[in-house]
């Protein structure tokens, strides 16, 4: 019998499924970004409305000045929030450039300010001086959103979230650590957390986040595309630290293949290890 040329080969089917997975990951990430920013925006609007009412009620100069200052600050915050969404919507390319990681972390934390307050998560930062990395800022922001939301969900009763930036001079990589003091990941589950659709959550939480099992699989793919590494240290009952190791601009420039040799992408192994966190 002649082969049926209409039905896709196994390789083609795998390719189609890979594309569908990428679409599902993108849609989930976009959904979580939309939900996060809408809630944060709403919060800013409440501040504006309340201080406008306050300014109308209190006619004295000092109260009015205070009201205008609060409204101005809230308006500026609203502009930053919409800029973040517009940046992602406009630039959906996977192009990479010199990126200041501390700035990306700050922008992401700004998007999660209300959410972290609501769930009583205290954010601590430890930023060392680090070189710029060669990265796609939007994609790194997507990773951070997912890691920080995972961390928040691991601490349902509230807790601490530690964000660390450090320079691994030996390898010319910048380490970005998202550390929570939550439930931790049992050893038997650890090997699966990067699998697409693997989730221990029963579905989206009250804030509409998590449960798809697509977050970490997307993080892993993005880090692979950056020739970086991702490392997980976790202990049940103690917490989880996820370390992203991202090439600095100088390292990326050194490793960039010469145009003639650029046959396939270079990938460093994704290095996932389990170790107790202290």
Ligand X SMILES: Nc1ncnc2c1ncn2[C@@H]1O[C@H](COP(=O)(O)OP(=O)(O)O)[C@@H](O)[C@H]1O
Place of tokens 């083609």: 12
Place of tokens 């939309």: 34
Contacts of 47 (CB under 8 A, 6+ apart): 70, 71, 74
What is the rounded CA–CA span in Å between residue 30 and residue 212? 13
State which of residues 101, 143, 216, 244 lies at the interface with ligand X (CB under 6 A): 216
Buried b (16+ CB within 10 A) or exposed e, 136-160: bbbbbbbbbbbbbbbbbbbbeeebe
State which of residues 137, 215, 239, 247 lies at the interface with Mg ion (CB under 5 A): 215
3-class SS at 161?
strand
Which residue's CB is nearer to ligand X, number 180 or number 221? 180
Per-residue mark of binding to ligand X, 144-163 (x: CB under 6 A)? --x---xx--x---------
Which residue's CB is nearer to ligand X, number 201 or number 256? 201
Task: Report angle CA 173, 179, 268 to the nearest 5 degrees.
Answer: 30
From the list 22-30, 37-45, 134-142, 209-217, the region that binds Mg ion by CB under 5 A is 209-217
CB 179 to ligand X: min, Å: 9
CB 143 to ligand X: min, Å: 10
Task: Report angle CA 181, 193, 251 to the nearest 5 degrees.
Answer: 85
Residue 213 lies near ligand X (rule: CB under 6 A): yes
Phi, psi of 225 (to 5 degrees): -65, -20
Q: For residue 7, what are the CA distances in angstroms to 4, 18, 19, 269?
A: 6, 17, 18, 34
Which residue's CB is nearer to ligand X, number 44 or number 148? 148
Per-residue mark of binding to ligand X, 95-134 (x: CB under 6 A)? ----------------------------------------
Token pair of 91 as six digits: 């630039």
Instruction: Work out what residue 211 binds among ligand X, Mg ion, none; the CB cut-off runs from 5 to 8 Å by kind.
Output: ligand X
Q: For residue 222, what are the CA distances in angstroms to 3, 217, 244?
A: 38, 9, 11
Instruction: Work out what residue 235 binds among Mg ion, ligand X, none; the CB cut-off runs from 5 to 8 Å by kind.
Output: none
Question: In this chain, which residue has its C-beta nearest to ligand X?
Answer: 215
List the one residue out of 242, 248, 253 whose CA is nearest residue 228: 248
Instruction: Work out what residue 198 binds among ligand X, Mg ion, none; the CB cut-off runs from 5 to 8 Å by kind.
Output: ligand X
Residue 200 lies near ligand X (rule: CB under 6 A): yes
Residue 198 lies near ligand X (rule: CB under 6 A): yes
List the one residue out of 182, 271, 203 whose CA is nearest residue 232: 271
CB 272 to ligand X: min, Å: 12
Per-residue mark of binding to Mg ion, 138-167 (x: CB under 5 A)? --------x---x-----------------
List the interface residues with ligand X, window 162-181 (CB under 6 A).
180
Which residues contact ligand X (rule: CB under 6 A)? 146, 150-151, 154, 180, 182-183, 185, 193, 198-201, 210-213, 215-217, 240
Which residues contact Mg ion (rule: CB under 5 A)? 146, 150, 210, 215
């Amino acid at each position: 019998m002649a082969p049926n040329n209409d039905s896709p080969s196994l390789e083609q089917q795998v390719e189609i499924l890979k594309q569908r997975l990428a679409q599902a990951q993108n849609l989930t990430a976009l959904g979580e970004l939309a939900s996060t920013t809408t809630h944060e925006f709403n919060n800013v609007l409440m501040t504006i409305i309340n201080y406008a009412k306050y300014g109308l009620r209190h006619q004295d100069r000092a109260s009015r000045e205070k009201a205008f200052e609060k409204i101005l600050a809230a308006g500026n915050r609203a502009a930053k929030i919409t800029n973040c969404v517009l940046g992602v919507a406009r630039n959906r390319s996977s192009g990479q450039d010199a990126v200041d990681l501390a700035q990306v972390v700050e922008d992401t934390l700004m998007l999660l300010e209300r959410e972290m307050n609501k769930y009583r998560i205290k954010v601590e930062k430890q930023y060392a001086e680090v070189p710029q990395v060669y990265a796609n800022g939007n994609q790194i922001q997507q990773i951070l959103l997912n890691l920080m939301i995972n961390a928040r969900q691991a601490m349902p009763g509230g807790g601490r979230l530690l964000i660390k930036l450090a320079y691994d001079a030996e390898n010319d990589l910048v380490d970005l650590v998202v550390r929570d003091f939550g439930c931790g990941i049992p050893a038997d589950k650890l090997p699966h957390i990067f699998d697409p659709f693997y989730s221990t959550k029963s579905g989206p939480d009250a804030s509409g986040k998590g449960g798809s099992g697509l977050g970490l699989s997307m993080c892993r793919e993005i880090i692979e595309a950056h020739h970086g590494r991702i490392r997980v240290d976790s202990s049940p009952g103690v917490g989880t630290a996820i370390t992203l190791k991202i090439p600095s601009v100088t390292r990326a420039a050194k490793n960039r293949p010469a145009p003639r040799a650029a046959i396939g992408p270079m990938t460093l192994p994704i290095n996932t290890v389990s170790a107790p966190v202290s």
